Amino acid sequence: MTSSSTVLAMQIAAPGGPEALQATQLALGEPGPGQIRLRHHAIGLNYIDCYHRSGLYPLPLPAGIGMEGAGVVEAVGPGVEHLQVGDRAAYACTPPGAYCEARVMPAMSVVRLPEAIDFETGAAMMLKGLTVQYLLRRTLPAEGLVPGDFILWHAAAGGVGLIACQWARALGLQLIATAGSEAKCALALAHGASHAINYRSENFAARVREITGGQGVKVVYDSVGADTFEGSLDCLRPFGLMVSFGNASGPVPPVNTGVLAAKGSLYLTRPTLFAHLSSRERSQAMADDLFAQVLAGTVRIPVERRYPLREAAQAHRDLEARLTTGCSVLLP
């Protein structure tokens, strides 16, 4: 049991494997200007947490881990006007540090959570749902996307992917999903993918060409990284857009830009969610779009696994072993 002035947190003292996550007690102070204190009811689990823990994305040490959560506002610092004590709230934002019972944090990207959305769903949906929002709504090929267009989405049975399958269907897009097993392919199809490819048993680039009648797709959304990058370029039609937004299999190697020319004047981008959440107004607008999809039932957030906060290391093992589908949360 923690005292009122300290909270349980999972932190790293040095980069490493899941065992690097260690329980500690942190002092919990009062929020300063532009800050709030939030008591977590649930904490989201994301692959970026593994990047922070391993050192792929270095953090000042010792470091807290975790980018999203949901809970109740306990205190509000000077200058914060959009939140009040007692508000239900959710967030996906920097700096990391969500793996804790409560935290003092910047208020800019924290938004009120609608009463109809429970805390576990709120914690599981923010980073993944806002990622899909900025990808499908803001990260678009030069020729745009219209109903009927083909897009390719790797790792479509993960937390981000299953949201993307549903949202793409609502937009009238034909999402071609890739996943690593027949069961995961079936899951993507059940969530709205038009086609699914088991990349362990099929050449996904050849299959994409077959599905699209040789045309290719307008855009590839790829969070896998090294293992899929070259094949993804082969899936694009001329002037297509390659969106590399994650590195689950390792970083993409250096790119010879001449390859983009040879394959049809392709575009390449490496976006991040937090560049899109750089203002209060944009954060709110993106969250409103996501909440509307969830409240309408267009997008359902599948919370498949729940772990006690102290078992964060096991959650990381399961995530890196690709044993999870949908979303997972830590419970303080």
How does pLDDT run across 213-247, given as a tens digit for each residue? 999 999 999 998 888 899 999 999 999 999 999 87
Contact of 9 with 26, CB cutoff 8 Å: yes
Kind and range of the H or E run holding 308 = strand 303-308
Percent of the chain with pLDDT over 70: 99
In sequence order, what are the residues at sequence separation of 6 or more whose Cβ sits closer than 8 angstroms to the Cβ of residue 192? 165, 166, 168, 169, 170, 175
Surface-to-core class of residue 148, CB atoms within 10 Å of its CB (0-12 exposed, 13-18 middle, 19+ buried): exposed
Q: Is pLDDT at 109 greater than 70 in this prediction?
A: yes
Note the pLDDT of residue 65.
96
Query: Directed axis angle between helix 159-170 and helix 280-295, to 10°?
Result: 80
Dist. CA 283–CA 90, nearest whole Å: 12
| Residue 1 pLDDT exceeds 50 | no
Q: What is the pLDDT of residue 262?
A: 95
Residue 68 has pLDDT above 50, yes or no: yes
Q: Determine contact, residues 158/184, Cβ cutoff 8 Å.
A: no
Mean pLDDT calculated for residue range 12-35: 96
The pLDDT of residue 2 is above 70: no
Q: Are 37 and 73 in contact (CB under 8 A)?
A: yes
Q: Is 161 exposed, middle or buried (0-12, 13-18, 19+ CB in 10 A)?
A: buried
DSSP three-state, residue 183? helix
Side chain identity, residue 303: V
The span from the CA of 105 to the CA of 69, in Å, is: 12
Reported as a single tens digit per residue, the pLDDT across 153-198 is: 999 998 899 999 999 999 999 999 999 999 999 999 999 999 999 9
CA distance 60 to 74: 27
- pLDDT recorded at residue 94: 84
**The pLDDT of residue 4:** 57
Predicted confidence at residue 93, as pLDDT, reads: 86
User: Domains (ranges, CATH) in the chain?
Assistant: 6-127+274-331 (3.90.180.10), 140-270 (3.40.50.720)
Q: What is the mean pLDDT of residues 56-63?
A: 92
Burial 180-197 (b: 16+ CB within 10 A, else e): eeeebbebbbebbbbbbb
Round the average pLDDT of the chain to a whole number and report it.
93
Model pTM score:
0.88
Type and span of the H or E element at 204 = helix 204-211
How far apart (Å, rounded) are the C-alpha atoms in residues 91 and 108?
A: 9
Residue 268 and residue 164: Cα distance in Å, rounded?
20
**5: pLDDT confidence band, cut at 50, 70 and 90?**
confident
DSSP bridge pairs for 303 = 327
Q: Are 197 and 178 in contact (CB under 8 A)?
A: yes
pLDDT of residue 323: 79
Q: What is the pLDDT of residues 266-280, one digit of tens each?
A: 999 999 998 998 888
Q: What is the pLDDT of residue 252?
A: 84
Q: What is the largest CA-CA distance in the chain?
A: 64
Categorize the per-residue pLDDT at 121 as very low, low, confident or very high, splitting at 50, 70 and 90: very high
Query: Cα(96)–Cα(211) distance, rounded to whole angstroms?
Result: 40
Q: What percent of the chain has pLDDT over 90?
A: 83
Give the Cα-Cα-Cα angle 265, 252, 235 (nearest 5 degrees).
40
How far is Cα 198 from Cα 201, in angstroms, rounded to an integer?
A: 6
